Amino acid sequence: MLEGLQIRNFAIIDEVDVEFRSGMTVLTGETGAGKSILVDAMGLVLGERGSSNLVRKGAKRAEFTAEFCLSQLPKAKEWLEEQMLDADNDCVLRRVINNDGRSRAFINGNKVPLQNLKKLGEMLLDIHGQHFHQSLGNRNVQRDLLDHFGELNDLALTTMKKFVDWKACSDKLQVLEATNIDRQAELELLQFQIRELKELNVQPGEFADLREEQIKLQNSGRLIEGTSTALELLYEADPTNAQTLLAEVTQSIETLSTFDESLSPLADMLHEATIQVSEAADSLRRYGQSLDMDSARRDFVEERLDTIKELARKHRIQPDDLDALHNDLSDKLHHLTNANEYDSQLRESVSREEKRYQALAKRLSAKRRKAAKRLSEAVTEAMKNLGMPDGIFVASIEDIDPKEPRSHGLDQITFLISANAGQAVMPLSKVASGGELSRMSLAIQVIASAGSDIPTMVFDEVDSGVGGSIAEMVGLRLYDLGQTRQVFCVTHLPQVASYATNHFRIVKISDGKSTKTKISLLTDDERIEEIARMLGGIKITARTREHAAEMLAVDNRKVAIIKSA
C-alpha cells in the first residue's frame, strides 16, 4: 500500500507532502490544477522515463519519494532480498531528475538502476491512464489485457524469449545455407593457398636470416680484403705489426717496474692487451677463412627471398607473417571442411528450439482460452451495471496461420461487443461509440485489476465520457474494488467522487509571478463544498450544497446496501 508521497520541484508543484490511507481515494480539482501531474509523479517514482523539462523552472532538480507498506506483499519482499536490499515491511522509493536530464534511482537508500525501480514498481502499483480507452481497439493491447487478467504475463514472456531463441538459430541456419553455394569455391581456394604455402615452407625467422646472409654474400669481397688487411696490421706485418710493438712496450714497462713498483699495474694491463690482440688476430684469421665468395649460394638466397616477398605481396602481408597466415588458413579449412557437421548440429538446434516454443505456445494458448471465457463473462456482467443491460462482451481467440508463428504465441485475440439486444457481436474498435468505449475500458480495467495481486490501483480520469446514473455505477464499482485494495481515482465527476472514503482536493495558487499546486485532505464539510463545486454553476448556492450533502448521504446508504448484499 502507498502510505506517503513527497514531491519537490516538479512541473508546477513546488513542494507536496501527502499521506494516504486504504480504500478508495479520489483526487479532484479544477482543470489545470495538477491532478494528473500527481499521477505522473507516481509513475516517475516507479521508474517511468523522465526528462529535464519536468524540473520546475529555476530549480536544479526534481525529487520524488514514495513510501510503501509491504506487509501483504511477499513477492516484493522476496525480490528485495534477492537484490540484497532491505526487505522490511516498510519500503522507500526515491527518484531524482536533474535539470541536465540525468536521473538517479534509490530503493531503501541504495542507489539502483532505473530498471530495478521499474521492476519493483510493477509489483506495488498499477496506473491506468486517462487515454487508455483510445488504445483499447488495438489487438496488442487486448492481448496484454487478457494475459494480465489471466495472470499469464510470466508465461507469455517465457514464450516470447523461446521464440527469440528459435528465430536466432533459424537465422543462423539460413545464413549458412546461403553460403553453401560458395563453399566449394572457397574450399578449393583455401586448399590451393595452403598448398602454395606448404611448398614454400617458410620457417619462423627465416626471412630475417636470409636477408642477413644476402648482405654478407653481396659484400664478401670487401669483407675478405678488410679482414686480411686488419690481420696483417695486427699480427703479420713484421716488424711493425701491433702484436710486436705492443710486446716491446710491455717488456719496457716491466723492466721499469723493477725500479718503481707503481708501474706494475700498467705492465699487467699491457700484458692483458697483448693477449687480447693475439686472440683478436686468431678470430680474424678464422673469420677470413670462413668467408666464401660462392655465387651459387648468393643466387639461391636472392631467389628464395624474391619468392617469399612475392607470396607475401600476393596476400598483402609482411614476409614474416607468412607462417601465421599458414596457420590461419589451415584453421579456416578445418572449419569449412567440418561445416557439414555444424550444419547438422544447427538443424537439430532449430528443431529443438521450435519444439520448445511450440510446447510453451500451446500451453499459453490453452490458458488464454480459459481466461478469455472468464473475462467474457465478467465484463458482460459488468456492462449491465454500466448502462448496457443487454450488452455482450466476447474475448475471441483464433488460431493464427501455423506457417507464421509469432513471438506472442499462436493466438489472434479480438475483443467483440454487442451493446444492444439482437445485435451481433463485432470487433470493439468498429462498433463502440466514445461513451461505450469509456465504459468498456473501465469495466475491463476494473475486472483485470480485481484479479491482480497488485495492492494499489490508480485510475486517471478513466470515467471520461460518462455521466448521470452511469457515473454513479462507476463510482460504486471503484468503491467496491477499494474494499480489497487501495484505489486512487482522478475524476471530474461528483457522482464518482461522492463514493470516496478519502477525498483530496488539488488547487493551483498563483501570485502573478509563479504558480504552485497544493493538495489537501478534505473534511466532511469541505467535501460538501467540493462536491457542490463539481456539480457546476457559476455560484455555489444553498440548494447546490444540499444536493451535494444528499449525494454523499445517499451514496453511503448505497454502499451499505452493496456491502450487505
Mean pLDDT of 150-165: 92
Higher model confidence: residue 251 or residue 487?
A: 487
Question: Is the alpha carbon torsion for 126, 132, 136, 140 positive or negative?
Answer: negative
Pairing of strands 486-490, 456-460: parallel
Which has more confidence, 463 or 482? 482
Q: Calculate mean pLDDT across residues 24-48.
A: 86
Whether 405 shows a pLDDT value over 60: the answer reads yes
Given a cut of 90, whether residue 155 has pLDDT beyond it is: yes
**What's the pLDDT score for residue 390?**
87
Q: What residues have CB less than 8 Å from 209, skipping those under 6 apart?
A: none
Domain map (residue ranges) of the chain:
184-337
Residue 37 predicted with pLDDT over 80: yes
Q: How far apart are CA 35 and CA 129, in angstroms?
A: 12
Cβ atoms within 10 Å of 556's Cβ, excluding its own: 12
Q: Per-residue pLDDT for 425 more than 70?
A: yes
Residue 537 has pLDDT above 50, yes or no: yes
Compare 537 and 343 and report the one with higher pLDDT: 343
Of 342 and 25, the one with more pLDDT: 25
Q: What is the mean pLDDT of residues 266-289?
A: 81
| pLDDT for residue 361 | 93
Average pLDDT for 269-288: 81
The overall average pLDDT reported for the chain is 83
- Residue 555: pLDDT over 60: no
- Percentage of residues in the chain with pLDDT exceeding 70? 88
Query: What is the distance between the alpha carbons of residues 117 and 92, in angstroms, rounded to a whole number?
Result: 11
**Looking at the predicted structure, is the pLDDT value of residue 343 above 70?**
yes
Higher pLDDT, 8 or 469: 8
Q: What is the structure's pLDDT at 131?
A: 56
Q: Is pLDDT of 183 > 80? A: no
The pLDDT value recorded for residue 35 is 77
- 5-14, 229-238, 358-367, 393-402 — which is least confidently predicted? 229-238
Local confidence band at 525 (pLDDT 50, 70, 90 cut-offs): very high
Overall average pLDDT of the 107-116 stretch? 92
Cα(439)–Cα(432) distance, integer angstroms: 10
* Structure confidence at residue 502 as a pLDDT band (50, 70, 90): very high
For residues 261-292, one letter each, b for 16 or more C-beta atoms within 10 angstroms of the residue's C-beta and e for the rest, the string is eebeeebeebbeebeebbebbeebbeebeebe
Half-sphere exposure of 505 (CA within 13 A, CB side): 20
Selected residue with higher pLDDT from 490 and 291: 490
* Res. 228: pLDDT tops 80: no
pLDDT at 133 (0 to 100): 54
Can you give the pLDDT at residue 302? Answer: 81
**Strongest mean pLDDT among 231-245, 474-488, 543-557:** 474-488
Mean pLDDT of 388-400: 89
Q: Please report the pLDDT score of residue 557 as a whole number.
A: 47
Given this model, what pLDDT does residue 563 score? 46
Which sign, positive or negative, has the C-alpha torsion 414, 419, 425, 426?
A: negative
Q: Say if residue 44's pLDDT is above 80.
A: yes
Q: Is the pLDDT of residue 159 over 70?
A: yes
Burial of 515 (0-12, 13-18, 19+ CB in 10 A): middle
- At 381 the pLDDT is 87
Asked if residue 516 has pLDDT above 90, the reply is no
Q: Are strands 486-490 and 24-28 parallel, antiparallel or unpaired?
A: parallel
As a whole number, mean pLDDT of residues 76-104 equals: 88
